[in-house]
Structure 1
Amino acid sequence: MQSFRTEIENPIVEKDIIELEKKIRLFKEGKVDEERFRSLRLARGVYGQRQEGVQMIRIKLPYGKVTGDQLHRIADVSDEYSTGRLHITTRQDIQIHYVSLDRTPELWADLEKSDVTLREACGNTVRNVTASEAAGIDTDEPFDVSPYAHAVFQFFLRNPVCQEMGRKFKMSFSSSDKDTALSYIHDLGFIPKLKDGVRGFKVLLGGGLGSQPRHADVIYDFIEVEQIVPLIESVLRIFDRHGERARRMKARMKFLIKDIGLESFLQLVDEERKALAYQSYPIETSGFDLDLSKVGLKVPNVNIADVAPYEEWLKTNVIPQKQEGFYAIGVKVKLGDFYTDKARKLADLVKEYAGDEIRLTLRQDILIRHVRKELLPFFYSELQELGFTELGYNSTLDITACPGTDTCNLGIASSTGIAVELERVLKDEYPEYVNNQDVTIKISGCMNACGQHNMAHIGFQGMSIKANKLVAPALQILLGGGVLGDGKGRFADKVIKVPSKRGPDALRFILDNYKSNAEENEDFLKYYDRQGEKYFYELLKPLSDTTNLTEDDFIDWGHDEEYVKAVGVGECAGVVIDLVATLLFESEEKNNSAEESLAQGRWADSIYHAYTAIVNTAKALLVAEGLNTNSQASIIKQFDEVFVETGKFAIDGSFSGLAYQIKKNEPTQHFAESYLKDSKAFYHKADQFRKHEVES
């Protein structure tokens, strides 16, 4: 691994990559527990896939922004370490598949040469910070949210507060009240507002999808921009401390709020503010406004022979920017998959003739920004050669689907296969939906909703169904979800389950019924509400009959072999199985990190590392007793009850008094030094206690 280490200029990044390489080696030597290793690699964007022996790599691209050079770098990496295919996710990341674990440190090092990271793209961390792809060019936006999304990404990357939480944490920034970044389904969602000329955000907390979707609560109608980073840190600290850790399915923020109540949660958040390094955090916004006077000055001559398709493309795929004379071009990317040869040509195109950036979208597409009006014919011609002028950007035809059983361990039925077939049906039989943006179709391969199926007007969820002692692939059909704007949205109803091969007929039944019976100017959601869930259940009920299945019904879309339900162990921030020795070892590492932060003058970071070491150490002794430790708060409480109050483990005062110094003191140098000293002393005493217990 020596050949690439010296090429990385950032010592923090270099240390990260060396650590990954070291842990891979220790894991293969049997010196690191498999579950602990899984936690570490997930936090470095390395995710096990359905096929044994290879990894999916998730590349973290804050708010979906990618420059021409970065796209070239990603393409080079995909060719070198993978198959040349790039997959855009619904969180504006890029994934590449079939990567050898041994090569992941080298892959990461290559990406970092163009300031692209894998860090915290997976795992129990702050995931990619998403934003409306039109941020900065949106004609309806109060201001550009890109600088704020970027600042949040930077502040919490490698931040000790959010490295080993009970579950993942997701944030979004919408560009306007249209809420195209879907604030209501996020742990924290932000919608920009202007109040008397002052910039701020409407803030929503505790949303989520999955098997139990929850609409986020509005916690602020307006908070000034300087307050968003302190607010986020306070929320993360409380989530880290009180969030569930033993029961993975109950570990998201939405369940914590349900358990303790929104008011109590916000009180804890407010009480935490004293411990923060920043009571206010100004965000730099310069450098985000492109000098458009220098963009796209060269206009090649282009002759478009067939004008009609070009004019249709202008209507469906070209969007006016708020910058006069400039346009954005939407590229519909089927299932989010495109290849490195096209990626390189696209990178060169935007670098030379546009604003040298693309934004990946939440619907797995590409938005090219800052294109002069006079360059639109040229872009059409160039994109047409790449196969990137297909109509229907952001339309009903633009179906969102997760990878499903193609590569994901949790996939139950093929989401990509049915997506391809539904798109074919729409193109051939319902051309009026090519430019319809009022109906969305989304598909997930399982209940985890990576394809966001339960917030779509028409959603499909991969399932299985039994018939004559055999198992066939199936689809749960959901109806009535959608984005309403300004932080409001609705979740779809689970209407009925049908065999997968009848999914296209289900879509036909729904669209034909809507066309025949909708009142004038009645949109789909109003029509659904008027008719009701039971009406659609009866409409689709004939398709659910399993007494008349054919051989074809037992073969999933996109496959030629009989369906087998094979669900593996999911790695969507899976909860770690803890070993006592490993926990104590990690406590020692955390204290070392606290020492490093202290030496660098980062008092708040040092304090949080020391706090984590204290809690980990206590957890180790509780685990040794066979006790459940489902949150940091419960660890602190139990340690007092089991060890301190019984006299089994002597300590001055209470353990809660020791641990909770973190929320009662400002992050000064004096407190950081004192707290680290306490943490080390507690670790040393616990280590000796454990050795005595083992030996006796």
Structure 2
Amino acid sequence: MADYRNLQKISVGKISCRKDDKMGAKIVKHSEIEAVIQSVQNYKEKVKEVLNKKEELKNIKPLLGGMGVYEQREKGTFMLRVRIPAGVCEVKWLRSIYEIGKEVGVRRFHLTSRQDIQYHGLTLAQTIEVKEALLKEGLVTKGGGGNSPRNIACSPLSGVDSKDIFDVTPYALASCDFIMKIIDSFHLPRKFKIAFASSKEDTSNTTVTDLGFMAMEEDGHKYFKVFVGGGLGRNPKPGIVFEEKLELQEILYVIQGLKELFEDYGDYENRNKARIRYIVERLGEEAFKAKLHDYIDKVKARGINEPIINEITYNKKGAHLSINNERLVSQKQEGLYGVYVHPFGGYLSVEELGRIVEMAEAVEDVKIRLTMDQGFYMLNLNGEEAERILAKTETLGLTDIMSKLVACTGANTCQIGLAASEELAGSIKKRFDKVPKEVQVWLPAIHISGCQSSCSAHQIAVLGFCGSKKRINDEIKTVFTLSINGSKGQAGAKLGEVVGDLLMEDIPEFLEKLAIGLKKGEIELEKEVLKKQFGPKIM
């Protein structure tokens, strides 16, 4: 393997930058990084070879994945994933994504469970057109999939949440800049996921990812608690604690050190055992941590500049609002609010995204943050603006239990999906449209994945469903495995306990009866209680 270690004095602030007056931060223009520009040109050349019948599509699939493009279940259609750094989406980016989609006639947009935005239903030729148009608007797709460092996740309310320990957004953005500057130096056996959490609620899943930084504070001193080697999917593992107290300015040392360890010790032969958690398993926790410390020390000896951290300020004059709405969030800044919008399944039509763009453009200094649950917040709103946005998004933003339902695209769209999770979500919505609000509130959040990949993070959900096929009475049926009481937080993640399988068609009724039983105090979320209560329905 080539040596990619001669990265002398990397500074995330020295790449082509611009001053964003509203955000109060210098942000690297990822679209002006030479490796990113060249990657789009390479993509164009290779895809044209396929279109001209000089190459087979299957031979360039690794290239497609690394550039955020995947073929969908419907032959000849493709999904394209746009990186939104740390889920911080500028309004002008949203306008560009919308206009480009409208121009090519995209079927729909999808807000992902990793704070990205996807185009669905593109032709292969259109993926070239969209990539080139996005690049001109400052947006990139490189690293959107494949064996790449994926979009860095960040708590969506970081900076405005009263539960914040401190705002981790600037650290997440600085890390995004660092990753993108050296994006061409990554030669990994599998994907590499990084996350930052601003509070003990861990709304970015830092405790169950490859590398997680959780905000901590003691006696006025701020630092990060660092988790490594976590991950969902096949053989899921909670992250192990690598550092209890990491100094804030040392995040890039850890990122670069783990990158190099992953490149050296990752399994390039067996894709199913290539993630970082398998290195931890193979070496043992203590040996792995010692090895990672060695790599970090070597990075420090070579030298990497500390990240340039630009604090984000909220100086807008507030105005109080005296209404109650479950989609309304009071910011810690006096008189300022956020409005949450959770479209069904994370999907938005072209017309719906256009309406959202117009709403955002009509608000002074609005800030848009994508979530890990297929929704978004419009933040930095005064009372009058918040009330207006609530009214205008009423038909877009789901409420009650549906606002807490996360479902991957499933087998109807995804080529590796085994079950139609989107269809199941629709059946649940149809049934619960008739269930009283006072019953719905008793159900915890529901996460549905169409296979073991756990794109909805069902394995750490209080109520998780994982789709598969099962032979029942000589007939192949779609079933979903129920798991319960998963969790995440400052102390670490806990995987949900598997209860059993339910037929897909039985799940809406099961959930309604569960909600009623929880309300009456007749049912508890315990494995044996559920199996006894629902009998043969849970196999």
2:492 to 460, 485, 488: 488
- Residues 327 and 369 of structure 1 are in contact (CA less than 8 Å); yes or no, is this contact kept in structure 2? yes
1:380 to 375, 390, 412: 390
- Residues 93 and 137 of structure 2 are in contact (CA less than 8 Å); yes or no, is this contact kept in structure 1? yes
- Alpha-carbon distance in structure 2 between the residues aligned to 1:475 and 1:233: 39
- Classify the secondary structure of the residue corresponding to 1:236: helix
Match status 1:272 vs 2:304: no
- Classify the secondary structure of the residue corresponding to 2:230: coil
- Alpha-carbon distance in structure 1 between the residues aligned to 2:263 and 2:59: 18
- Map 1:234-253; keep pairs closer than 5 Å: 234-253=257-276
Partner of residue 15, structure 1: 38
**1:112-148 CA distances to partner (integer Å, 9 max, x unpaired)?**
2222110101010111101111011111213211111
- Residues 227 and 279 of structure 1 are in contact (CA less than 8 Å); yes or no, is this contact kept in structure 2? no
- Residues 187 and 216 of structure 1 are in contact (CA less than 8 Å); yes or no, is this contact kept in structure 2? yes
- Structure 2 vs 1, CA of residues 74 and 433 (structure 1 numbering), >3 Å: closer, same or farther? farther
Match status 1:447 vs 2:452: yes
Q: Which runs of 4+ in 1 moved over 6 A?
A: 29-33
**1:248-284 CA distances to partner (integer Å, 9 max, x unpaired)?**
2211111111011122222222222354376464333
Partner of residue 655, structure 1: none
Match status 1:510 vs 2:514: yes
- Residues 336 and 382 of structure 2 are in contact (CA less than 8 Å); yes or no, is this contact kept in structure 1? yes
- Map 1:345-424; keep pairs closer than 5 Å: 345-384=355-394, 387-392=395-400, 397-424=403-430
Q: What is the identity, as a one-letter code, of the residue corresponding to 1:510?
A: L
Partner of residue 476, structure 1: 481
Which shifted more, 31-40 or 68-77? 31-40
2:535 to 534, 541, 547: 541
- Structure 2 vs 1, CA of residues 267 and 36 (structure 1 numbering), >3 Å: closer, same or farther? farther
- Alpha-carbon distance in structure 1 between the residues aligned to 2:326 and 2:296: 48
- Residues 345 and 422 of structure 2 are in contact (CA less than 8 Å); yes or no, is this contact kept in structure 1? yes
Report how far residue 40 of structure 1 moved: 1.7
Match status 1:429 vs 2:465: no
- Alpha-carbon distance in structure 2 between the residues aligned to 1:282 and 1:36: 40
Match status 1:338 vs 2:348: yes
**1:451-507 CA distances to partner (integer Å, 9 max, x unpaired)?**
111211111111122234321222212222123x21423211221112211111222
- Alpha-carbon distance in structure 2 between the residues aligned to 1:389 and 1:97: 21
Partner of residue 505, structure 2: 501
- Structure 2 vs 1, CA of residues 91 and 162 (structure 1 numbering), >3 Å: closer, same or farther? farther
- Residues 396 and 439 of structure 1 are in contact (CA less than 8 Å); yes or no, is this contact kept in structure 2? no
- Residues 479 and 504 of structure 2 are in contact (CA less than 8 Å); yes or no, is this contact kept in structure 1? yes
- Structure 2 vs 1, CA of residues 9 and 457 (structure 1 numbering), >3 Å: closer, same or farther? closer
Q: Please report the RMSD computed on the Cα atoms of aligned residues, expressed in angstroms.
A: 2.6
- Structure 2 vs 1, CA of residues 25 and 487 (structure 1 numbering), >3 Å: closer, same or farther? farther
- Structure 2 vs 1, CA of residues 13 and 490 (structure 1 numbering), >3 Å: closer, same or farther? closer
2:179 to 156, 179, 194: 156
Partner of residue 583, structure 1: none
- Structure 2 vs 1, CA of residues 452 and 138 (structure 1 numbering), >3 Å: closer, same or farther? same
Identity across matched positions, percent: 25
Report how far residue 230 of structure 1 moved: 0.7
- Map 1:130-145; keep pairs closer than 5 Å: 130-145=153-168
- Alpha-carbon distance in structure 2 between the residues aligned to 1:451 and 1:282: 34
User: Relative to total residues, which structure has the larger helix share, 1 or 2?
Assistant: 1
- Map 1:63-74; keep pairs closer than 5 Å: 63-74=86-97
- Residues 208 and 254 of structure 1 are in contact (CA less than 8 Å); yes or no, is this contact kept in structure 2? yes
Report how far residue 543 of structure 1 moved: 1.6
- Classify the secondary structure of the residue corresponding to 2:40: helix
- Residues 225 and 282 of structure 1 are in contact (CA less than 8 Å); yes or no, is this contact kept in structure 2? no
Q: What is the identity, as a one-letter code, of the residue corresponding to 1:539?
A: Q
Could you state the TM-score of these two structures normalised by the residue count of structure 2? 0.87
**1:656-685 CA distances to partner (integer Å, 9 max, x unpaired)?**
xxxxxxxxxxxxxxxxxxxxxxxxxxxxxx
Could you state the TM-score of these two structures normalised by the residue count of structure 1? 0.68
Partner of residue 642, structure 1: none
User: Relative to total residues, which structure has the larger strand share, 1 or 2?
Assistant: 2
**1:93-115 CA distances to partner (integer Å, 9 max, x unpaired)?**
11112212223232112112222
Partner of residue 467, structure 2: 462
- Alpha-carbon distance in structure 2 between the residues aligned to 1:13 and 1:448: 28
Partner of residue 308, structure 2: 284
- Alpha-carbon distance in structure 2 between the residues aligned to 1:160 and 1:96: 23
Report how far residue 174 of structure 1 moved: 1.0
- Residues 396 and 435 of structure 1 are in contact (CA less than 8 Å); yes or no, is this contact kept in structure 2? no
- Classify the secondary structure of the residue corresponding to 2:498: strand
- Classify the secondary structure of the residue corresponding to 1:255: helix
Which shifted more, 32-41 or 325-334? 32-41
- Residues 33 and 181 of structure 2 are in contact (CA less than 8 Å); yes or no, is this contact kept in structure 1? no
Partner of residue 629, structure 1: none
- Alpha-carbon distance in structure 1 between the residues aligned to 2:397 and 2:205: 26
- Structure 2 vs 1, CA of residues 380 and 365 (structure 1 numbering), >3 Å: closer, same or farther? same
Which shifted more, 158-167 or 361-370? 158-167
- Alpha-carbon distance in structure 2 between the residues aligned to 1:402 and 1:496: 20
Report how far residue 389 of structure 1 moved: 4.7
- Alpha-carbon distance in structure 2 between the residues aligned to 1:501 and 1:177: 36
- Structure 2 vs 1, CA of residues 390 and 40 (structure 1 numbering), >3 Å: closer, same or farther? closer
**1:347-376 CA distances to partner (integer Å, 9 max, x unpaired)?**
232233143331111111110100102333
**1:617-643 CA distances to partner (integer Å, 9 max, x unpaired)?**
xxxxxxxxxxxxxxxxxxxxxxxxxxx
Where does the alignment leave 5 or more consecutive residues of structure 2 unmatched? 1-30
- Classify the secondary structure of the residue corresponding to 1:157: helix
- Residues 454 and 491 of structure 1 are in contact (CA less than 8 Å); yes or no, is this contact kept in structure 2? yes
Match status 1:329 vs 2:333: no
**1:387-421 CA distances to partner (integer Å, 9 max, x unpaired)?**
235433xx564200000012101111110111122
- Alpha-carbon distance in structure 1 between the residues aligned to 2:349 and 2:501: 35
- Residues 415 and 443 of structure 1 are in contact (CA less than 8 Å); yes or no, is this contact kept in structure 2? yes
- Residues 344 and 398 of structure 2 are in contact (CA less than 8 Å); yes or no, is this contact kept in structure 1? no
- Structure 2 vs 1, CA of residues 207 and 227 (structure 1 numbering), >3 Å: closer, same or farther? same
- Alpha-carbon distance in structure 2 between the residues aligned to 1:160 and 1:317: 37
- Alpha-carbon distance in structure 2 between the residues aligned to 1:173 and 1:9: 25
- Alpha-carbon distance in structure 2 between the residues aligned to 1:31 and 1:238: 38
Q: What is the identity, as a one-letter code, of the residue corresponding to 1:370?
A: N
1:78 to 101, 122, 135: 101
- Classify the secondary structure of the residue corresponding to 1:315: coil
- Alpha-carbon distance in structure 1 between the residues aligned to 2:219 and 2:55: 56
- Residues 153 and 172 of structure 2 are in contact (CA less than 8 Å); yes or no, is this contact kept in structure 1? yes
Q: What is the identity, as a one-letter code, of the residue corresponding to 1:166?
A: P
- Residues 35 and 184 of structure 2 are in contact (CA less than 8 Å); yes or no, is this contact kept in structure 1? no
- Alpha-carbon distance in structure 2 between the residues aligned to 1:235 and 1:147: 21
1:25 to 48, 62, 73: 48
Q: What is the identity, as a one-letter code, of the residue corresponding to 1:491?
A: L
- Structure 2 vs 1, CA of residues 341 and 460 (structure 1 numbering), >3 Å: closer, same or farther? same
- Residues 483 and 496 of structure 2 are in contact (CA less than 8 Å); yes or no, is this contact kept in structure 1? yes
Report how far residue 336 of structure 1 moved: 0.3
2:286 to 263, 268, 275: 263
- Residues 189 and 203 of structure 1 are in contact (CA less than 8 Å); yes or no, is this contact kept in structure 2? yes
